[in-house]
Amino acid sequence: MALSRQDIRDLYRVRAGLYDWTAHLYYLIGFREQHYRKRAVAALDLKEGSTVVEIGCGTGLNFPLLQERIGSSGQIIGVDLTDRMLEKARERVNRKGWANVTLVQSDAARFDFPAHTNAVLSTFAITLIPEYNLVIRNGSDALGKGGRLAILDFKKPDDVPLWLTRIMVRLTSPFGVTLDLADRHPWKSVEKYFPAAPFQDFFFGFVYLSVGKVV
C-alpha cells in the first residue's frame, strides 16, 4: 500500500542523516543515479540567472548541478515535506556558501509557485505525492514561454516480468517505493498540461525522464 503523507514524512526524517550515502549505493546494481540527475537538469535548458523550483529537493543533491547552470545570479527554491531533509539541505547550502537558495518546508500540493519561475524539477519524489497531477498543473501555470518542467522518477516497465519488478520495488522500498505506485503516471499529467512533452526511459524501463516544454 502506498505510504501516507505522514508515513513519508516520518520515513525521510529517519533516512535524512544517511540519505546521500544510501542513494549512491545503487551504483552497485548498475543504477547510475547521478547520471540520470544530470540528464534531468540538462533537460531544463537553464540559462544564467534562471529561477528553478525543485519539488522534493531532499538534502539538495541536485543543487550543485543547478548552480553550475544558473550561476550566482540565478535562484533555487527547494521545496520539501520533511524538516530533517531540509536541515541537511541547509547544511549543504551553508557549507558551499550559496546565497541564492531558498528552502521551503511545504506539502508540494499546497506550494504556491512564484510567478517568475523559469523551470521546475523533481527527481525521485513526485510519484510519492498523491496529488501529483495538481502539482504538475500548478507548475505549468507558473512557467512562462520557454519554461520547462522535468520529472525523473521510477515506473513499472511494460515488458518486464512481475518478479523482477518486485525485486526492484524491494530494493527501493527504503525510499518509500511500493508496488501500488505503479498506478500513478505523472508523465501523463505532463503530456496533459504541456504542448510538448518528450519522454525517455532508462535502466530497463524502471526509470523515466518526462520533460514538459512551454512553447
Q: Are 206 and 167 in contact (CB under 8 A)?
A: no
Of the listed ranges 66-70, 148-152, 160-164, 172-176, the one predicted with least confidence: 172-176
All domains in the chain, ordered by first residue = 5-213 (3.40.50.150)
**If pLDDT is split at 50, 70 and 90, which confidence band does 7 have?**
confident
The C-alpha atoms of residue 1 and residue 141 are separated, in whole angstroms, by 31
As a residue count, the chain comes to: 215
User: Does pLDDT of 62 surpass 70?
Assistant: yes
pLDDT value for 18: 77
pLDDT value for 69: 98
User: Does pLDDT of 17 surpass 90?
Assistant: no
Task: Convert the pLDDT of each residue in 160-169 to its tens digit.
Answer: 888 888 888 7
**If pLDDT is split at 50, 70 and 90, which confidence band does 28 have?**
low
Candidates 150, 76, 151, 138; CA nearest to 107 is 138
Whole-structure pTM value: 0.93
Name the residue type at position 11.
Answer: L
User: Does pLDDT of 46 surpass 90?
Assistant: yes
Mean pLDDT calculated for residue range 10-18: 83
User: Does pLDDT of 27 surpass 80?
Assistant: no
Name the residue type at position 136.
Answer: I
Question: What is the average pLDDT value for the chain, to the nearest integer?
Answer: 92
Mean pLDDT calculated for residue range 4-8: 85
